[in-house]
Structures are given as C-alpha cells and as structure tokens.
Amino acid sequence: MPKSRSTFTTSDLSRKSGDIIAEAMRAPVTITQRNKPRLVLMNIEDFERLRAHGDTRKAYRIEDMPDELVKEIEAALDAYERDTKTDAA
C-alpha cells in the first residue's frame, strides 16, 4: 500500500476519492488546486469538535463596547505610548 499523505490535488480527488476519504477519516486532508490549498476534508467528529470551539471573538461599536474592554484598550495604548517614548530616547 502506498505511503499515506495529507495533501491531494483536485485531480486526485476525482480519481482517488476512496483513498482520500479513508485518509480523511484518520486525519484532515488538504485538497490543493493549482498548488494552492483550497479545501480541507475531515471526519465529522473533528469537524464537530472544531465547530463547538468556534471563534469567540466579538466586534463592537465604540458606543456598545463593555467598560472593561475599553479599559484594556486604554491600558494597551498607554503602554504602547510609554514604549514608543522610551525607544525614541
């Protein structure tokens, strides 16, 4: 049996779908097109686990931003200004 790999081309996908699916059941498989990664094929358990730990970032308008986040940003800006002045001296 050929050595398994985790990257296949779109051409491979049409010719070797069974092999690629078998590999994707073990570990995520990258599908490339014109030498660029385009897709990832993975088993449903891995996908559900990733989805459950999805992106928790949030975007706010300044008017709606929580006070504690405003304080964090102000502290970061103050630290940046202090560092910039120290570097310039």
Q: Kindly report the three-state secondary structure assignment for every residue of the chain.
A: CCCCCCEEEHHHHHHCHHHHHHHHHHCCEEEEECCEEEEEECCHHHHHHHHHCCCCCCCCCHHHCCHHHHHHHHHHHHHHHHHHHHHHC
Share of the chain above pLDDT 70, in %: 91
Per-residue pLDDT band at 56 (split at 50, 70, 90): confident
- What pLDDT sits at residue 22? 94
Average pLDDT rounded to a whole number, residues 64-71? 91
pLDDT of 76 strictly over 60: yes
Average pLDDT rounded to a whole number, residues 10-25? 93
